Amino acid sequence: MMWFVSRRLVYLVPTLIGVSIIIFVLLRVIPGDVAAIMLGDYANPKDAAELTAKLGLDKPIIVQYGEWIVGVLQGKAGVSLYHGNSVAGELWKAIPVSAELAVLGVLLSLIIGLPLGLISAIKHDSIIDQVSRLVSVLGISIPNFWLAILMLTFLAILFEWNPPVYYQSLIKSPVDNLQQMLIPAITLGSFQMALVSRMTRSSMLEVLRQDYIRTARAKGLREQMVIYRHAMKNAMIPVVTVVGLNFGILLGGIVIIEQITGVPGVGRLTLQAINQRDLAQIQINVLFFGAVFAFSNLMVDMIYGFLDPRIRQS
Amino acid sequence: MIAPADPIIERGNRWWRIATNTTAKSCALMSRKPIGSAGAFIFLVMIILAIFSAQLATHAPNKQSASNRLLAPSTAHWMGTDEAGRDVWSRVVYGARVSLYVGLVSVVLATVAGTALGMTSGFIGGRTDIIVQRIVEMILAFPTLILALVIMAILGPSVNNLIFAVVMALTPRFSRVVRGCTLATKEEPYIDAARAIGAKPVRILSLHLLPNILAPIIVLASTNLGIIIFIEASLSFLGFGTPPPTPSWGRMLSGTASGYFQIAWWLAFFPGLVLSLTILGVNLLGDALRDIWDPRLRGR
């Protein structure tokens, strides 16, 4: 297992280097002069040249990349030209907020999605099954941002309830924080919830038809034992795949949901940076998203290894 | 044995036979896949909205009117009016154009590009395959929406840029799947046979390999159309999609309108409803197609 994990970790390195190169090159092909865009319409050539030099944009691109990546590894990825703070510091402040949101979203999706899919498979073709299938196809089809808008709008109209306006941290005032995080977490998790319940249902249905399940029942095991011990562990592999593959949608959702609900996390910071053409901040944030996504793929591989010993060997 | 039919009668009957046959087949399909047919119906309605927007809209979609601001839905304005006095129904109808145009064009382009890349990479194999796959993996390491967002931020909002961004973000995903199908199919005996009689690689790829992996490719395209429409709406929602004044569902749900949602719920409700219905229709249709063409995944 250790060997398996360490080999996977080594694979992460080239991917991350590739991600950093792609994001760096992408942001250097912006049509037009970055300095001129940042200074606006009234820039004079001297200021523009000064800013170009300050940004290091006059150096060859390989040198620029080298300086940037060394900086990132040392934990200082430059300062924002918009607000003058360290971009790594800004990112660092935003990470716990987004992490809380993502964890809550995934937890909600599992807490609702798993039992829904499981009941659906055990009570195949019953009314519960039909309802849960309807819920999951709706969850996949309704865009998360519309769900958030609907909840915010209609909770305000019908119950005159609005989440607290100013963001509170979980540690300082947990009640306010959880009220603020409720709608973002539900809307962020809705898509995953639907996927989990769909995948759990279909994969349980397939596993329950297998011979070893019949054997388990035939030797007189209790039905609960059959389902939890024998069926679920095997049924979980495709579920993990689907959740892992679609973790990227969750990360994209973070950008949108934080924007609507005003949660000051990484997504909102990234969007602000894009709107302000704050190169240094965009670079580090997108690199962060890439790293998280690559790491989540790694986690999926490891969970595979845990669920299916054959994968560990190969 | 029955004597061969008179060729003239045969020809006269042919179209009739094809027509009845198609009708019978689609009726059978509808009764076998009622949910998928419902999806196809919703999708068809959206296509009609997009094609006949000019006829179906009751007002000019961008005509502002200070006296008609924020009117609730009524017989004159079926879905009410927005904060600039524009008719929401008319804007929703025109919004179908952008959504479906971007969705369909992107899905076709991404499928063609992904198929070409995946088939070539998988068929040639060796070092080329390794290099192409490493590059694909690097692009796949970005969350789709965030990659599309960065590309849009660089290129600026326009419909063509939107299509480009979506295609760039999805082609690697598609190519990955097509490569997998290619690897599984290229060891089949009929491919060896084609090679043995001296067929050139291009001929093998297009005449022997492609027809045999076409079904999963079509399934892939149809199941991703919903995601593409969602990405388009998300980008427009964030202000990086279609530039104003073109009405688009995503944009109608953001910007200045969002300040009025709590006093004019119809602004928040209808554009999102139509968007969700479209994605729902496409997803239901895609599921049905997958059931029909990809029996291995039946029921998933």
pLDDT tens digits along A182-235: 889 999 999 989 989 988 888 888 888 888 888 888 888 888 888 887 888 778
| 3-state secondary structure at position A132 | helix
Q: How is residue A205 written in tokens?
A: 């249905």
Complex ipTM tops 0.95:
no
Q: How close does chain A come to B197, measured CA to CA in Å?
A: 37
CA distance, residue A183 to nearest chain B CA (Å): 16
pLDDT at residue B3, as a whole number: 56
Q: Which residue of B has its CA nearest to A20?
A: B138
Judged by a CB distance cut-off of 8 A, whether residue A282 touches chain B is yes
Q: How far apart are CA B194 and CA B212, in angstroms?
A: 14
Residue A59 has pLDDT above 70, yes or no: yes
Count of CB atoms situated within 10 Å of the CB of B161: 19
pLDDT (0 to 100) of residue B2:
56
Of B58-72, B80-94, B168-182, B270-284, give the lowest mean pLDDT range: B58-72
Type of residue at B291: D
A282 CB neighbour count, 10 Å cutoff: 26
Q: With contacts defined as CB-CB under 8 Å, which chain B residues touch A38?
A: none
Q: Identify the residue with better confidence: A276 or A264.
A: A264
In the block, residue with structure tokens 């609900």: A261
Give the pLDDT confidence score for residue B295 in this predicted structure: 54
CA distances from B202 to A143, B183, B185, B193, B235 (A): 41, 16, 16, 15, 38
Helix (H, G, I), strand (E, B) or coil at B125: coil
Please write down the HEC assignment for all residues of B31-81: HHCHHHHHHHHHHHHHHHHHHCHHHHCCCCCCCCCHHHCCCCCCCCCCCCE
DSSP code string of B246-277: S--HHHHTSGGGGGGTTT-HHHHHHHHHHHHH
CB neighbours of residue B97 within 10 Å: 20
Give residue B212's pLDDT. Answer: 84
**Cβ separation of A255 and B146 shorter than 8 Å?**
yes
The predicted pLDDT at position A185 comes to 92
Q: Inform me whether the C-beta atom of residue A202 falls under 8 Å from chain B C-beta atoms.
A: yes
Q: Is the pLDDT of residue A154 over 80?
A: yes
Per-residue pLDDT at A18 exceeds 70: yes
**B296 in contact with A, Cβ within 8 Å:** no
Per-residue pLDDT, B299 = 42
Identify residue B153 by its one-letter amino acid code.
A
As a whole number of angstroms, the distance between CA A270 and CA B196 comes to: 56
Q: Tell me, what's the pLDDT at A35?
A: 64
* pLDDT, tens only, B126-179: 898 888 888 888 888 888 898 999 888 888 888 899 999 999 989 998 998 888
B204, with CB counted inside 10 A (0-12, 13-18, 19+), is middle
DSSP string, A69-125: HHHHHTT---B-TTT-SBHHHHHHHHHHHHHHHHHHHHHHHHHHHHHHHHHHHHTTT
The pLDDT value given to residue B276:
93
- Residue of chain B minimizing CA distance to A294: B141
Q: Which residue of A has its CA nearest to B262?
A: A153
